Amino acid sequence: MIVQSGIEHKIQDALRPVFLQVANESHMHNVPAGSESHFKVTVVSAEFDGKLPVARHRMLNQLLREELEGPVHALSLHTFTPEEWQERQGQTRNSPPCQGGSKPG
């Protein structure tokens, strides 16, 4: 949980989200047990007001640059303003199953 915790702290400090969920989805991929390489990140922040989704994703990619250069292989980013989050009634899509290879048996 070291990588996950680091991601959570960086986002909390930079974006002051009203909602943050960082889910380690590594178990859904062909990686060793206990890996921290694939994450689904849901962030609701007023910092996203007036920004298109691509700009929001760039903000997070820049913020998490070190993790993306190291242990993190993939981030699924779900970014919303508080108003958008309320319209969605706090719902995001589920991540699809891994298409990158078979899981070890």
pLDDT digits (tens, 9 = 90+) for 49-68: 999 999 999 999 999 999 99
Predicted pLDDT at 88: 87
> What are the CB-based long-range contacts (under 8 Å, 24+) for 7-12?
7/39, 7/41, 7/64, 7/67, 7/72, 10/63, 10/64, 11/41, 11/43, 11/60, 11/63, 11/64
Instruction: Give the phi and the psi of residue 74 in degrees, each rounded to 5.
Output: -150, 140
Predicted pLDDT at 105: 45
CATH 3.40.1800.10 fits 2-87, yes or no: no
Predicted pLDDT at 40: 94
DSSP 24-39: E-GGGSSS-TT---EE
Q: pTM for the full model?
A: 0.86
Predicted pLDDT at 33: 77
Kindly give the parts of the chain with pLDDT less than 50: 102-105
